[in-house]
Amino acid sequence: MPKVWFGRDLVVLDGLYKQLFLRSKEAIFWLVVFPTILFLILTSIFGNVEQNVTVKVAIIGESEILERAFSGIQQISPKFFPYSKKEKIKEYLKALERETFDVLVVLPEGFDAIYSRALLLRRTKFFKPVTVEVHYIPVRDGSKLAFEMVRGILDTLDVQDRVEMVIHNLSTRRVDYNNFIFPGVVGMAWLSVYLFGFMNDMLWLNRRKMIKRLSVSPFNLLKIYLFVAIVNLTSLVLGISILTFVAWLKGVDVVSYLPSLIFNSLISALVLTFLTLAVLVFENRSSAIVAFEQIFFQVQMFAGGFYFPLKQIPSFVQVVARFLPITYTVDSVRKVMGLNSIANNHYLVPLVYLLISISVVITGMKKFHKFEG
């Protein structure tokens, strides 16, 4: 007898696997491929923000001193134009308006000589500062930043070298944004699989009256929920594997993340399985479920510190984040790299969610079995 049961179980599992996963292009795309696409999108935007942000400075007039000063600063991209172009200042101002560059500097003719003379006479009564005209657009952030940087350089041409700066890295390891974002995208994958995968699959079984048919057969209904969860776990494993491989190619330290990633994936899978089942006990209309999925997904994803450190988010959003279970599991994955925002008690809130959800599912099981009405 047990052998027969085992064989029947496999047939059902195989059927569900084909129907819910292999034949569903949407499931393959959203649950398996999309997390990797999102990872690539986010790392391409935020991965090299500093290198991407450079201010364009147009300088009318020649100066070796300024060329040297600008060359030491990565964030500035200077372009020198001959002094003779000063007559066309209106065209340059138009170019500034069109954002061809962020700031326009007009040097006096023979800047280097005038500057050197002023420097020599600095402590005498013959001293006269060198006037440099700087045009910028204060309502544009980029232009304002460029102006502040240029002013800083011009103000400190004579003293810059005297100020020494030493950077002490107190953390034992250095990681980039790609390493930070990786657990956030994994968190998004957890949510996608259980909200849009598992939950929608349960709705599909309901619509096709599968649960009703199975409830009058000797097949244990609990097994069907388990099998649907296994099918979705397969998509999760596949999706996270592809994501992990791509992340490794992008330089993420996946080896250090792996143990914590596996452990927290299992915890999250458990919490989300029972949470979604508990919601289904109360509500079975697909339109209401879709609304719940989207609200939970968007709020958890944007408020839960997936993409930016939780400690940098305003207090109000932090309060919301601390009521959400996946905030903690994502943060727990980051803990191995010292990138966590929550110091301890990473499993208290997920455990509360799990216990409440299990109680709801157990007490509402009868209703749940009949939920197709």
Contact between 313 and other proteins by CB under 8 A: the answer reads yes
Q: Smallest gap, in angstroms, from Cβ of residue 236 to other proteins?
A: 19
- Comparing CA positions, the residue from 353, 371, 183 lying closest to residue 270 is 353
Quote the CA–CA distance of 143 and 32 in Å, as a whole number: 42
Q: Give the count of beta carbons closer than 10 Å to the beta carbon of residue 178.
A: 18
Contact between 316 and other proteins by CB under 8 A: the answer reads yes
Which one of 90, 124, 171, 218 is in contact with other proteins (CB under 8 A)?
A: 171
Quote the CA–CA distance of 192 and 185 in Å, as a whole number: 10
Q: Smallest gap, in angstroms, from Cβ of residue 96 to other proteins?
A: 6
Contact between 151 and other proteins by CB under 8 A: the answer reads yes
Quote the CA–CA distance of 275 and 359 in Å, as a whole number: 10
- Comparing CA positions, the residue from 214, 240, 236 lying closest to residue 225 is 214
Which one of 124, 217, 315, 345 is in contact with other proteins (CB under 8 A)?
A: 315
Which one of 16, 132, 275, 278 is in contact with other proteins (CB under 8 A)?
A: 132
Contact between 312 and other proteins by CB under 8 A: the answer reads yes
Q: Smallest gap, in angstroms, from Cβ of residue 219 to other proteins?
A: 32
3-state SS class at 160: helix
Contact between 115 and other proteins by CB under 8 A: the answer reads yes
Quote the CA–CA distance of 147 and 141 in Å, as a whole number: 10
Contact between 127 and other proteins by CB under 8 A: the answer reads yes
Contact between 283 and other proteins by CB under 8 A: the answer reads no
Which one of 15, 152, 251, 259 is in contact with other proteins (CB under 8 A)?
A: 152
Structure token pair of residue 69: 């000063």
Quote the CA–CA distance of 219 and 60 in Å, as a whole number: 83
The per-residue DSSP string of 71-113 comes to HT-TTEEEEEE-GGGGGGHHHHHHHHHTTSSSEEEEPPTTHHH
Which one of 12, 154, 237, 365 is in contact with other proteins (CB under 8 A)?
A: 154
3-state SS class at 276: helix
Q: Smallest gap, in angstroms, from Cβ of residue 168 to other proteins?
A: 5
Residue matched to tokens 């006037």: 131
Which one of 7, 82, 87, 287 is in contact with other proteins (CB under 8 A)?
A: 287
Pick out residues in 47-106 that bind other proteins (CB under 8 A): 48-53, 73-75, 93, 96-97
Pick out residues in 188-227 that bind other proteins (CB under 8 A): none
Q: Smallest gap, in angstroms, from Cβ of residue 60 to other proteins?
A: 13
For residue 57, what are the β-bridge partners?
78, 103
